[in-house]
Structure 1
Amino acid sequence: MPTLERIMPVIGAPCWVHLMAKDLRAAQSFYTDVMDWKFRASTLGSNFSVALAHGKPVAGVGCCSPGGPPAVWTPYFAVKNADETAGRISERGATFAVGPLPLGEGRAGIVADRDGATFGFWEGPDHRPGRHRHRRRHHPQGRAGLAHAGRGQPRPEALR
């Protein structure tokens, strides 16, 4: 059986993933059966949990707000400096959903690229940005609205 080691994230590589599901309990049951994951409570509240493989955190799983965005997996990429990354992202016309903002011992953000693909970025010593409390911003038209709202516009101060 494989073992998981806790290591420093590789800059530019995926370092964490989280799922926002319509039904948290159903998602936990599905991934328990498929991946043999166990789940523990998270500091993000009762609608978010941490998936464990072999006792190690491997993903976050949360529940979407009613009428919120569709169920989706969001990968996070390790970055050396969240603010510099945010600047490069903004210069290229991406749309910020949140951040960068302090998150545990690091900083994180979630964006949609120019084509609407959503991803997170994480600067920090640990590979688990989802384990700490953070705020999410939602566009009233869901991810499609997020991906197109403000394309090419400077990042709103309220989302920094």
Structure 2
Amino acid sequence: MAVQPEGTPCWADAMFSDVEGAKSFYGDVLGWTFGEASSEYGNYTQAFSNGKAVAAVVPPMPGQEGQSAWCLYLASPDAAATAEKIRSEGGEVLMEPMQVGDFGTMALARDPGGAVFGVWQAGVHEGFESVGEPGAYAWAEVFTRDPDKSDGFFPAVFPFTAQQMQDDAVDFRVFSIGKNPVLGRMRMTDDFPPEVPSYVNVYFSVENCDEAVARATERGAVLRFGPMDSPFGRFAALSDPQGAAFSVIDMKATQGEMPGMTDVS
């Protein structure tokens, strides 16, 4: 796929203390196969679905051991300039832009509401080779306890417009580039334990949501929510055996009317 417009989700990876366990789990649940570990880059290992690169797993660097989590990267034509915008808009740059060989340049940041995300300036690695197909990235949402901060931050850093869902029961917003929705924002309710920080929830597409949930829970994952039908597809939220949160969605199994959205840009 070509280099994506600025702000588009373009890649996802996760650190796992047990990389082989993660490979086995996601291979079973999402059908992933894996390339060779790149020792030059900390044993970074790409995951493939139907031969196309869809994500990566990597062991933690010394001193970075801790909770496993998926990290979503947003495309940038200039990672250094994006890092400056992040700082000027109240975010925190956790890792300064770093060139990764000729693959591209990465940075890690935290929005003012506490959600961690990545920035990717493409080199030869342009990002996802497949999107929306079974086993590939489908969607992502910023889950935050402080939506006002996130709502101001993301459109200031990236060229997003915003639409608010017309639903009194759910505080949900969609960020778009042009007419293309690229990222959701969900207010975390009291249903989330207080120790769970704001985070970016990554959705992977599956052929059948219930079957994917069954495979995941058999392998030690914890079902957090769902499966639930929606106008966007049947989805469920899980934590993998090493604690990394992710969701699965069957985008063919849609039910109900699309919700109304109000432009709040």
Quick check: TM above 0.5? yes
Q: Tell me by how many angstroms 1:44 deviates.
A: 5.0
Mapping 1:144-159, distance limit 5 Å? none
Match of 2:210 in 1: 83
Does residue 1:73 correspond to 2:196, yes or no? no
SS in 2 for 1:26: helix
Measure the CA separation in 2 of the matches of 1:62 and 1:105.
15
Q: Tell me by how many angstroms 1:106 deviates.
A: 2.4
Q: Does the 8 Å CA contact 2:131/2:137 hold for their aligned counterparts?
A: no
Q: Tell me by how many angstroms 1:22 deviates.
A: 2.3
Q: Does the 8 Å CA contact 2:172/2:185 hold for their aligned counterparts?
A: yes
> Which residue, 151, 160, 164 being the options, matches 1:37?
160
Q: Tell me by how many angstroms 1:11 deviates.
A: 0.8
Q: Tell me by how many angstroms 1:107 deviates.
A: 0.8
> Which residue, 97, 101, 114 being the options, matches 2:224?
97
> Which residue, 187, 190, 193 being the options, matches 1:63?
187
Structure with the larger RCO, 1 or 2 (CA within 8 Å, 6+ apart):
1
Query: Which structure carries more helix by proportion?
Result: 1
- CA deviations on 1:81-136 (whole Å, 9 max, x unpaired) are 1111111011101000111121225210000000000000000239xxxx76xxxx
> Which residue, 233, 241, 244 being the options, matches 1:117?
244
Q: Does the 8 Å CA contact 1:8/1:125 hold for their aligned counterparts?
A: no
Measure the CA separation in 2 of the matches of 1:90 and 1:2.
36
Measure the CA separation in 2 of the matches of 1:96 and 1:44.
25
Match of 1:17 in 2: 140
Measure the CA separation in 2 of the matches of 1:104 and 1:8.
19
- What is the TM-score when the length of structure 1 is the normalising length? 0.69
Which structure 1 segments of 5+ residues have no match?
A: 133-160
Which structure 2 segments of 5+ residues have no match?
A: 9-129, 260-265
How many residues are paired up? 126
